[in-house]
Structure 1
Amino acid sequence: MEANIQPSRGRLIICHGYKGFKDWGMFPHVAQGLANEVDVISINFSHNGVGADLLEFTELEKFAKDTYSKDLEDLAAIIQYSQRQDDTSVEKPVFLLGHSRGAAVCLIYALEHPEQISGVLSWNGTANVDLWTEENKAEMRAKGRTYTLNGRTKQNMPLDLEILEDMERNVERFDIVGRISEAACPITLIQGTEDGERGIQGSKRLIEQNPAIKWIRIPEGNHTFGSVHPFKGESQPLRKAIEASLQTIHDMLE
């Protein structure tokens, strides 16, 4: 029996979150699971701190300088490169899926490039780009560098003043809640009922500003939909998140 191979109808780019990387836990499984109607590209941001082995934080000096502006430049480069690889004269629709901080990057990019993006899926996304404590920010200003503990690896990961300065230079640009009413493409928030309160309140604020946003709640889903690293298999919340995403992408393609 010959396989029935369907041509791709679009492209999906998956963006990891803070202290994440493309091969963390669920992401390879998610990428494979979503490669139904679309080609899937899962990316590492250039300053996420992961080195050549792809599974360890060995480039902490890069992590220390991982700004939103750099992430947006990375995403732009990936989109431009992928479009150049198309073997047809018709550009395929591009969809973005971001987890946590990655969702914020996706939303900002979509707001800035409405002609490029056909839809955004936010997996437990953050609506506020400021992820750092007041103590972190005070130490950045006083010493030029602070540290954040990675609970999984137990590494103290550096954060340089450059990160804070990037946010302060781009207050209006990075104001997702304030700008979300301008969104030209469909947006779907896929969020676990057990995600953090900050994330849930952020979703409520986004929908208040743009009622057209779709909000899908995943029962018993935490911030990673029950996924850990190394990957231990598909949890029920992760299966539901993938199914919701497949349906969302299908609907956006229609």
Structure 2
Amino acid sequence: MSTPFTLQNTRGLELLGDTHSPNDPPKACVILMHGFKGYKDYGFLPVLAHDLCQEGLFVHRFNSSTSGMTNEIETFARPDLFELDTWTRQVEDIERVVQAVRDGEIAGKGLPIFIIGHSRGGASALLAAGRHGDALKLAGVITINAVDCCSRMPEDEQEAMLARGYTMTQSARTNQDLRINSTWLSEQLDNPDAHDVILQAAKIACPVCVIHGDDDQAVDLSAGKAIAQACKTDLNTLEKGNHVLNMPNPSELDTKRSVQLLKTTGIIVRFIAKHG
């Protein structure tokens, strides 16, 4: 069972989320961040949130303000917001949710806070903790199949994007053609260190848990190895694990858990128990 919430970020945009509240006294608070073209209700995310809650954790999963998604999950209802997305906006949204927990706007005030990020969300979590670790005071960061680089766009495509002012990407899920403004790229070029995932990961003071599937066709296992090395921690490898933990989209609470999801949940629970 989850309860919806809405927050407004510093740019006046909405963060739509759901809070999973445990029946027993909570041990810690988890903020769950989706990936590129993802959303809070995608695939294994609601199931993971539910199962972590069953282990005595508050879990907040939310749509980033520029995800383009609403609670109407069949489509990107706000492509006008999707096109505004940048890595810095992702980081700001994480900061906003952490602050909402600290201020008591959403559940978990006074508890240790952990961020879990999937795919691009994992990199966003690393950037947030690397850039703003002193302010966020996180108990830990957990990445699942995270990317280790903000952009692999070839130079000629970068030049074309900057000249045109945008680029296009298609959603395989909805078949929509979605626009991304060139600000996404220009911010990276203007401040490369702030967008260097490995550099920022190496700066993180709190414990980091890195999880990656060895059959991830979207983000190679080498990304997980690079992140783990930067954070001076072990890589938790999921045997035969794909990018979405071998779970369908959508996944319901009664959907059979994959071996990879069960292993991921166990790794996270043990990590939080150790560092919470």
TM-score by length of 2: 0.82
Aligned to 1:104: 123
Q: Partner letter of residue 43 of structure 2?
A: G
Match of 1:81 among 88, 96, 100: 100
Match of 1:148 among 151, 155, 169: 169
Alignment: residue pair count:
249
Match of 2:204 among 183, 189, 212: 183
After the TM superposition, list the runs of 4 or more consecutive aligned residues in structure 1 that deviate by more than 3 angstroms: 131-136, 196-199, 207-210
Q: How many angstroms does 1:113 deviate by?
A: 3.0
- Unpaired runs of at least 5, structure 1: none
Q: Partner letter of residue 245 of structure 1?
A: I
Q: What secondary structure does 1:113 align onto?
A: helix
Match of 2:230 among 209, 227, 231: 209
State which drifts further: 127-136 or 74-83.
127-136
- Given that 1:121 and 1:190 are in contact with CA atoms closer than 8 Å, whether structure 2 keeps it comes out as yes
Match of 1:238 among 240, 252, 261: 261
Aligned to 1:248: 271
- Given that 2:162 and 2:186 are in contact with CA atoms closer than 8 Å, whether structure 1 keeps it comes out as no
Q: How many angstroms does 1:64 deviate by?
A: 1.0
Cα distance change of structure 1 residues 46 and 136 upon mapping to structure 2, 3 Å threshold:
farther
Aligned to 1:11: 29
Q: Partner letter of residue 41 of structure 2?
A: D
Aligned to 1:60: 79
| 1:220 matched to 2:240 | yes
Q: Partner letter of residue 247 of structure 1?
A: R
Q: How many angstroms does 1:151 deviate by?
A: 1.6
- Given that 2:126 and 2:200 are in contact with CA atoms closer than 8 Å, whether structure 1 keeps it comes out as no
Provide the C-alpha distance between the structure 2 equivalents of 1:228 and 1:5, rounded to a whole number of angstroms: 28
Q: How many angstroms does 1:56 deviate by?
A: 2.2
Q: Partner letter of residue 116 of structure 2?
A: L
Aligned to 2:47: 29
Provide the C-alpha distance between the structure 1 equivalents of 2:104 and 2:157, rounded to a whole number of angstroms: 42
Q: What secondary structure does 2:133 align onto?
A: coil
Q: What secondary structure does 1:173 align onto?
A: helix
Provide the C-alpha distance between the structure 2 equivalents of 1:104 and 1:87, rounded to a whole number of angstroms: 24
Q: What secondary structure does 1:181 align onto?
A: helix
Match of 1:47 among 56, 59, 66: 66
Q: Once the two structures are superposed, what CA deviation does each residue of 1:60-86 show, in whole Å capped at 9, x if it has no partner?
A: 121111101111111111111111118
- Unpaired runs of at least 5, structure 2: 1-21
Q: Partner letter of residue 6 of structure 1?
A: D
Q: Partner letter of residue 246 of structure 2?
A: G
- Given that 1:189 and 1:215 are in contact with CA atoms closer than 8 Å, whether structure 2 keeps it comes out as yes
Match of 1:160 among 159, 170, 181: 181
RMSD (Å), alpha carbons: 2.4
- Given that 1:140 and 1:159 are in contact with CA atoms closer than 8 Å, whether structure 2 keeps it comes out as no
Q: Partner letter of residue 250 of structure 1?
A: A
Query: % of aligned pairs identical?
Result: 26
